[in-house]
Amino acid sequence: MGASGLFGSLLNRKKPKQREELKIELREKLTGLQRGLTASPKDKEEVERLAAAVEAANPNRASLSSPLVNGKWRLLYTTSSSILGTSRPPFLRPGGEIFQTIDAVNLKACNQETWPFFNKVTADLTPETGSRVGVQFKQFKLLGLLPVNAPPSAKGKLDITYVDEELRISRGDKGNLFILEMVDPEAKP
């Protein structure tokens, strides 16, 4: 093996280790930020820096074709004020866990809040690139019971910028960052 072959081999072995270290650092930074609700501007800047570093090490560039994207994901962090409920009084904000379930094969997704409201929204996905989908929300279920059809204007885009067996980072068309962890790779929306 020549010098360049040896160097390339060493780089390939080091990259997964660096990726794991970055993921650990990112997850540690998220501790105590309540999905981003209590993140200061400095916290947000640091989370953004770490998320970008993890994204740069994405082992699955064509995220939508990776089977790793499918399953039920728990939201760890977001900059989305609508998901966090920052404009609502604290007692009207989601208090429990928030999940997103994706089925890239059948192009379906579901976002679900838990306690206290149990709101849910289903969506159809349309692939746009190897990592980005158009999202057309179909039906909201308020309080887990009351179905409300989504208007045609209820749509967006989601770019899955990092995915592996345990972590997913996505960016929405409104500039929001989403960091999620896998909880059930077999779940379907």
* Domain ranges across the chain: 17-87+94-184
Read off the pLDDT band of 13 (50, 70, 90).
very low
pLDDT tens profile 111-122: 999 999 999 999
- What is the Cβ-side half-sphere exposure of residue 180, based on CA atoms within 13 angstroms? 31
User: How far apart, in whole angstroms, are the C-alpha atoms of residue 90 and residue 143?
Assistant: 17
Residue 9: per-residue pLDDT? 39
Strands 108-113 and 132-142: unpaired
pLDDT tens profile 24-57: 999 999 999 999 999 999 999 999 999 999 999 9
Fold of 17-87+94-184: Lipocalin (2.40.128)
Cβ 160 vs Cβ 182: under 8 Å: no
Read off the pLDDT band of 62 (50, 70, 90).
very high
Residue 107: per-residue pLDDT? 97
The amino acid at 174: K
**What letter would DSSP give residue 31?**
T
Write down the pTM of the prediction: 0.91
User: Is pLDDT larger for residue 5 or for residue 49?
Assistant: 49
The amino acid at 189: P
